[in-house]
Structure 1
């Protein structure tokens, strides 16, 4: 029988702090692709590239259209898993039902980050699709849950969600995690019930902002009342350095690290469960869809994952447990998420297809910027990056051009020069020049999905 394959995506997990906080999971990892780089800096674009092997401007999943409607199964690595039962479990709105990602799977469960119970009316997707607010929104949610026969369980999840809203900014911990326990429990339930071999995709949003203390983990020295929702992402990043509270990045980082440690521990337990309960071998591929900025000097003072293609955002873990084969270490060469489809397809044939490259690209077409945001054009600009060994070239649709030197430590880089000429080999990765591609969205309401939804809803989901 073919081996089961599990692809686990820790949302926003950067390489250096994953390594530092992975705990017992580190001892289970058989192969660490230490120089893995994401193809973009946020969820829609990075998932599009991970599944197709194409850059965002090529596959069409990006800020101006985060939907999967135009991507066929045969355009993704999932076509290699046609003889598998394909299961998806995701608490990420963009890798979920709201944007058509579920259509590739035999079974798919979209979970709210606030879900304690599964098999319910999923509240985050419902909120993203509804134009109602306040009490009218929740009455509509309960009415829809009643119609599908999940009222009691949906009500429990809704009450937990409302408690978390109430607790935000008060000295009260969250009563549940951000969906990790529920997601892993659902994955176990589905794996028990289906015919194997199975392919499982999971996106775990525990490691994605917003951050706050919970009953499962508390940041060292972080007040019980502190929440990263004190600022939305763009408001904070638009502040002058002297206007940013000194405790904010410290608390943000503490809880980010705690979320990685907690999630890695839960994954470690899940790996043990699979080994004990599933027929045949199971291979686990663990990565981050992108990294995270933590407000440090190295991050330019920025938080979240917008406005840059820095090493903090592109250098991500890629670890494999129980591979069918082994490969040599990379000796400094890169493994790109653009080559993840080849790796995943190989697992269905009991091979480990790992391609190391000296030269790799990355790009972001835009971001989740609501209209009216200060410096909208800057935050929504298109950015490209190209690596050539330790040299990294970054340029954007507003005319900025930089040369960086990639450091020897994870997530480390140093600016070498600005206003440079981008080398031809760097430009050659891309089919359309950056200004030409971005210009097609000029004056178009291409961020409707961000503008139409109430700002507080997008903030709660961690996207602004």
Structure 2
């Protein structure tokens, strides 16, 4: 008998904040992998590593190539689950059909926060494709919506888009969440229509910046004004100059809203999991993790903000919890688990097994900057766009880069997302290189020379700008 498996990716959720703000999901889970680490530091390479079990320099999907369309299903763990229907719903534009992420799935739904009913018309795209402004475009949209295959859903998309736009400009909470409600609804709908066994992937983006107060957030968890968003400050002002006194208030608001977003996800996703279990006849195991965490400019984050140009514990130490797995794991597992073994874990769970995915030493890698807005100065840009590698060995982490820098960090297994510099300009152990097929500076140069970018429409371009990727 095979199991259904659901992989829930809580985009940009770091381990320490998950432990503090997601009690419902922890209560539902019966197993926690306490020392889980992402294989990279931002969405594109991390998702590719989760699918393939390979590092970015091995699968080739990273800063310099963000296209998944060349990836074959046989190259992913789905190739080891031939009896499972592969389903997916994602609010992450990089994990969408725009960048070919849907290629390995049987059915996939791209979720846009402004488009609450994916089967209906997209009002934002409709407006962009037409000249003029004012009421005329909305009247034109209404006519087109009435002639659409899904008129009610199209009209609802238009009404909610306009209402959310009005709320965003007023001193009121943002009306709509950043896709959690739609992803959950799409996931349930897919499961209802699918034959079992199935594998379902979902990506929830609500903790990803920019953060702002949303109507469903718990107001007791933050002190940010309704009009405040993290657009109020420049990430790179912090990353290049360090945390200054004038940053403290904005950082406080951001950290509080980040926690409130995770609390909101905890409520939404816990209900989603319970609904999935109601809709399935087979045993269904749910894996909850994050593609990466987030630097919040704490000292342990080296005062870096966002998820760029570093391999800190704030970025790599992510939650990994199992809900309703087959018997075999301890309730708390404390050995290292890498996302490189996520496919082995999922395929094993689907086969009613609890595979050994633990290791004493694990690697991670970042090929380039990943996000936009980097300094224009050539030398500054070269530094922030460098390639980074790291390896874990017990309570020690070694990090080195393509410019020749190297650092040894001390870790504490009882302090999630924490690290402290132990020594700089250190010699990297010879065994560390065995995780990698190509020398770091050689691969970085090769990747830069073969760089390619997929063309996207203005709607996607604006969404990427909102998320800080342009």
Above 0.5 in TM-score? yes
Q: Which residue of 2 aligns with 1:423?
A: 429
Residue in structure 1 matched with residue 329 of structure 2 by the alignment: 327
Question: What SS does structure 2 have at the residue aligned with 1:261?
Answer: helix
Structure 1 stretches of 5 or more lacking a match? none
For these two proteins, the number of residue pairs brought into alignment is 460
Q: Are residue 82 (structure 1) and residue 87 (structure 2) matched?
A: no
Contact 1:369–1:447 under 8 Å retained in 2: no
Q: Is the 1:370–1:450 contact (alpha carbons within 8 Å) kept by the matching residues of 2?
A: no
Q: How does 1:9-408 map to 2 (within 5 A)?
A: 9-121=9-121, 149-150=149-150, 153-154=153-154, 156-157=156-157, 160-161=160-161, 164=164, 167-168=167-168, 170-217=170-217, 218=219, 219-242=221-244, 244-328=246-330, 332-370=334-372, 373-374=375-376, 375-408=380-413
Aligned Cα root-mean-square deviation (Å):
3.1
The 1:369–1:29 alpha-carbon spacing in structure 2 relative to 1, beyond 3 Å, is closer
Which of 44-53 and 290-299 deviates more?
290-299
Tell me, in whole angstroms, the C-alpha distance in 1 between the residues paired with 2:426 and 2:222.
43
Q: C-alpha deviations, 1:70-128, integer Å up to 9, x for none?
A: 2210110111232122210000111111111112112110001233223135689x69x
Superposition TM-score, scaled by structure 2 size: 0.89
TM-score by length of 1: 0.90
Residue 412 (str. 1) matches residue 418 (str. 2): yes
What secondary structure sits across from 1:319 in the alignment? strand
CA displacement, residues 363-393 of structure 1 (integer Å, 9 cap, x when unaligned): 0111334487433222222111111111111
Question: Distance in 2 between the 1:144 and 1:289 partners?
Answer: 38
Gaps of 5+ in 2: none
Match of 1:301, SS state, is: coil
Q: Could you tell me how far 1:279 is from its partner in structure 2?
A: 0.7
* In structure 2, distance between residues paired with 1:289 and 1:180: 16
Structure 1: how far apart are the matches of 2:190 and 2:119?
Answer: 12
| Conservation of the 8 A alpha-carbon contact between 1:236 and 1:244 | no
- What SS class does the counterpart of residue 247 from structure 2 fall into? coil
Distance 1:43 1:122, change over 3 A: farther
**Displacement, 1:205?**
0.4
Do the aligned partners of residues 450 and 389 (structure 1) sit closer, same or farther apart at CA in structure 2, a change above 3 Å counting?
farther
